[in-house]
């Protein structure tokens, strides 16, 4: 395990004001910094790490956050509670058929999360319990579909386009009628989405205005399943239209609710890009052939060049070029037992938002803004944007708490930091020998 050293230590708040820039990170939107318990990210970071650092929290930067909402579209199913990972209290409670959580999207750390759905108020009646993978800076609608009677209840993750709308209205259509065939979406009698099958979604952008929309059986414009006449679409709003109910073809659902729609309105999320558009099959095939040919040509050229170089090297002796080995930075020698001590970094607070309510306890986390050249942190290999979660086994909620923990020590003391490394989210316990802060 690499040695990692961490933060400034200082003995007075007046000196702190002179040398540290402690500020909140992130602004706007619901994708700013959020927290999760280690249990809530155990699947992503590893059970061993979770067991070793169970009391500590994990801090996430905006680039590591997904946005997720849950929609109940399972006919004849009771209201449900939704649990995430190992939490014993539901993240979403009493979610009724045809509705989404009132808070809309909630922040989740990117990675694998265990999603468990139970009957509301009855944690023992589990109807779904499987892992769901979410990608950073991506929005998802987790839609409960199918029916309990047919034993095909499931939760499908749909990727939502929450990128900038640029003055347009965006409409996402999700087909959640489990016993219905494919459908078409019509605008003023013209097909704008064709052959949308159960468990699939489609998205289109329209100018703001009033539209006569309809969802019909594919190829039969007279069989209107969902009439949406005079639908008003406003600029910079995203409309998610979920086709719910049953066509009545399943014998187990004698009291099948009629096919209708549940419509949810949201807005774009800052920093989220549009999902990749699937390549049409014909184009994809042509592209694959062209790519294969190009790759083969490039490989042949590279092999020829490598053979030529090897032949020249074998017939000609070339004097080796002397290179200097890399010099690792060394810590500045300091006299032990003095104050104020330092780990040679500048810490900065990160703040969670209420959108991450089930992931956050309302506290802050500490992020490395800068690493001092030649300081203990630099010698140990710490980088800016790494996160510090604890000092000597005790969680640190913000930069002030971190500095207070360091202020208990003298230069030369060895302390152990719990470090979440930028980019990987891995957490390690790192011993640090503190230096002496110079002015």
Q: Is 280 helix (H, G, I), strand (E, B) or coil?
A: coil
Yes or no: say if 139 and 164 are a contact pair by the CB < 8 Å rule: no
Share of the chain above pLDDT 90, in %: 37
Structure confidence by residue, pLDDT tens digits, 212-223: 999 999 999 999
From 194, 205, 174, 200, select the one nearest 268 (Cα to Cα): 205
Same domain, 34 and 67: no
Per-residue pLDDT, 9:
33
Go through the chain and tell me how many residues it has.
439
Per-residue pLDDT, 254:
63
Per-residue pLDDT, 210:
96
The number of beta carbons lying within 10 Å of the beta carbon of residue 331 is: 16
**Measured between alpha carbons, how far apart are the two ends of the chain, in Å?**
32
What average pLDDT does this structure show over 120-148? 94
* Range of lowest pLDDT (124-133, 134-143, 251-260): 251-260
> Would you say residue 164 has pLDDT above 60?
yes
Same domain, 228 and 241: yes
Per-residue pLDDT, 209:
96
Same domain, 358 and 427: yes
* Range of lowest pLDDT (180-194, 261-275, 287-301, 321-335): 287-301
> Would you say residue 201 has pLDDT above 60?
yes
End position of a domain, from candidates 251, 266, 281: 266
Same domain, 115 and 256: yes
Same domain, 52 and 102: no
Q: What is the CATH number of the domain that holds 400?
A: 2.30.42.10
Full residue range of the structural domain in which residue 21 is found: 13-59+327-436
Total domain count, the chain: 2
Domain assignment present for residue 218? The answer is yes
Same domain, 184 and 139: yes
Q: What does pLDDT average to over the chain?
A: 73
Per-residue pLDDT, 109:
77
What average pLDDT does this structure show over 20-44? 26
> Would you say residue 227 has pLDDT above 90?
yes
Same domain, 403 and 340: yes
């Amino acid at each position: 395990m690499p040695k990692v050293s961490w933060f400034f230590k200082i003995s007075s708040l007046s000196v702190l004001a002179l040398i540290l820039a402690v500020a909140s990170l992130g602004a706007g939107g619901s994708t700013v910094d959020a927290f999760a318990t280690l249990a809530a990210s155990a699947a992503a970071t590893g059970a061993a790490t979770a067991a070793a650092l169970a009391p500590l929290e994990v801090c996430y930067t905006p680039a590591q956050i997904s946005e997720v909402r849950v929609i109940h579209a399972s006919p004849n199913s009771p209201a449900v509670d939704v649990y995430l990972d190992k939490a014993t209290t539901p993240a979403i409670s009493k979610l009724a058929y045809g509705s989404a959580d009132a808070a809309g999207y909630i922040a989740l750390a990117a990675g694998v999360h265990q999603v468990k759905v139970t009957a509301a108020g009855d944690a023992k009646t589990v109807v779904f319990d499987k892992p769901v993978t979410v990608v950073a800076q991506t929005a998802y609608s987790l839609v409960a579909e199918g029916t309990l009677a047919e034993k095909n209840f499931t939760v499908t993750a749909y990727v939502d386009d929450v990128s900038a709308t640029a003055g347009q209205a965006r409409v996402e259509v999700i087909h959640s009628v489990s016993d219905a065939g494919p459908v078409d979406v019509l605008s003023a009698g013209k097909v704008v989405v064709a052959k949308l099958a159960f468990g699939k979604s489609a998205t289109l952008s329209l100018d703001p205005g009033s539209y006569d929309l309809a969802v019909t059986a594919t190829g039969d414009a007279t069989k209107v399943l969902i009439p949406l006449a005079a639908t008003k679409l406003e600029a910079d709003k995203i409309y998610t239209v979920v086709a719910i109910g049953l066509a009545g073809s399943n014998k187990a659902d004698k009291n099948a609710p009629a096919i209708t729609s549940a419509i949810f309105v949201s807005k774009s999320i800052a920093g989220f890009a549009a999902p990749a558009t699937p390549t049409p099959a014909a184009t994809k095939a042509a592209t694959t052939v062209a790519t294969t040919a190009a790759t083969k040509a490039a490989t042949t050229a590279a092999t020829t060049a490598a053979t030529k170089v090897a032949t020249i090297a074998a017939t000609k002796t070339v004097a080796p070029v002397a290179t200097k080995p890399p010099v690792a930075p060394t810590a500045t020698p300091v006299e032990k037992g003095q104050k104020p001590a330092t780990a040679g970094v500048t810490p900065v607070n990160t703040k969670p938002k209420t959108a991450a309510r089930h992931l956050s306890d309302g506290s802050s986390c500490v992020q490395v803004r800068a690493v001092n050249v030649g300081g203990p942190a630099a010698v140990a290999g710490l980088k800016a944007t790494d996160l510090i979660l604890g000092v000597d086994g005790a969680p640190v909620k913000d930069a002030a708490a971190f500095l207070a923990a360091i202020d208990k020590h003298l230069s030369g003391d060895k302390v152990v930091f719990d470090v979440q490394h930028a980019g990987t989210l891995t957490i390690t316990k790192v011993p640090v020998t503190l230096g002496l802060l110079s002015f």
